[in-house]
Chains A and B, each alone.
Chain A
């Protein structure tokens, strides 16, 4: 007796359908939420004229928040640091001069809730609002 051919065909169709459900590694890099909304949380226009002085205040603020500074680049205007306190937060802060005595400051961070957890991007506004509040306070104190 001849076996029906539809079963292998059905499995093949299912596999072909599921193959499209994964994300290719290259594409996964671009798989972030709303870019515009995220930028608004992560960015703030702050007063300042001296780039190096501003970066030193950023470094000092990050140290106040418990970060160890991993890297800093005066030319590029970036500071990256890591905080370990039961959890891990890794954050980069970048400056862009906007003219008229202002810098556009952008922060982006990733966190791990514990050593065995996967790192995830911080996309809630709260932590960024806290960071900018600390930075604004430090800038005010540095200017007065």
Chain B
């Protein structure tokens, strides 16, 4: 029902959502007194610090794109916890394995991609630039990254807060050098 037509694209995939402003605020940081070229250079430094490979850039438009392969562990979802409890109830000697699995979480081999986009802040009277980061990941079923399992947008506020913290530090370090 969510799919419109035979193209398979969900209705509203290219429509602005009510959460657009909230996401924009989360993904954007303003830097006063820093030129766009310096901000781009500092962003590049952060990407490299984090182990990202730069896939492309267009400095005239303030764009840098990078990706990184990594493996993380996520906590179990409630349905996964229930399923493990059910297995343990049926086969009690599986309890230690279920407990270990619950503590360890679920392994997620993935590729994270992000783009950093800078632009001059024309709304301010003083010289300032805006940086906006958008990020996403493809989670795979295996470490060889051959079978994709899910496509996700990264909208965790902590991710963006940490990125901008590192970018501020990078801007500071570039100014000192």
Residues of A within 8 A of B (CB): 52, 55-56, 59-60, 63-74, 79, 81-89, 91, 109, 111-117, 120-124, 126-128, 130-131, 133-134, 137
Interface size class of B (residues with CB under 8 A): 35 or more
Q: Knowing A89-B14, A115-B138, A134-B15 are in contact, say whether A64-B8 is a contact too (CB < 8 A).
A: no
A65–B7 contact, CB under 8 A?
no
Q: Knowing A89-B9, A127-B14 are in contact, say whether A63-B117 is a contact too (CB < 8 A).
A: yes
Kindly state the separation between the CA atoms of A63 and B119 in the bound complex, as whole angstroms: 13
B63–A69 contact, CB under 8 A?
yes
Distance (whole angstroms) from the CB of A81 to the closest CB of chain B: 8
Residue ID in chain B nearest A138 by CB atoms: B16
- Name the A residues within 8 Å of B65 (CB-CB): 68-71
- Name the B residues within 8 Å of A85 (CB-CB): 13, 151-153
Q: Knowing A68-B65, A72-B61 are in contact, say whether A82-B113 is a contact too (CB < 8 A).
A: yes
What would be 10 A-B contacts, judged by CB atoms less than 8 Å apart?
Answer: A60-B117, A63-B134, A73-B58, A79-B61, A87-B8, A115-B147, A123-B7, A130-B12, A131-B14, A137-B16
Kindly state the separation between the CA atoms of A73 and B15 in the bound complex, as whole angstroms: 24
**Digit string of B55-93 for contact with A (CB within 8 Å is 1, else 0)?**
110101111010000000000000000000000000000
A128–B4 contact, CB under 8 A?
no
Distance (whole angstroms) from the CB of A91 to the closest CB of chain B: 8
Kindly state the separation between the CA atoms of A88 and B14 in the bound complex, as whole angstroms: 11
- Name the A residues within 8 Å of B117 (CB-CB): 59-60, 63, 69
B10–A124 contact, CB under 8 A?
no
> Which of B132, B136, B152 gathers the greatest number of chain A CB atoms within 10 Å?
B136
Kindly state the separation between the CA atoms of A128 and B9 in the bound complex, as whole angstroms: 12
A111–B15 contact, CB under 8 A?
no
A84–B61 contact, CB under 8 A?
no
Kindly state the separation between the CA atoms of A38 and B24 in the bound complex, as whole angstroms: 31
Q: Does B125 interact with chain A (Cβ within 8 Å)?
A: no
- Name the B residues within 8 Å of A127 (CB-CB): 7, 9, 13-14
Kindly state the separation between the CA atoms of A108 and B46 in the bound complex, as whole angstroms: 32
Residue ID in chain A nearest B113 by CB atoms: A68
B15–A115 contact, CB under 8 A?
no
Q: Knowing A59-B117, A69-B134 are in contact, say whether A124-B16 is a contact too (CB < 8 A).
A: no
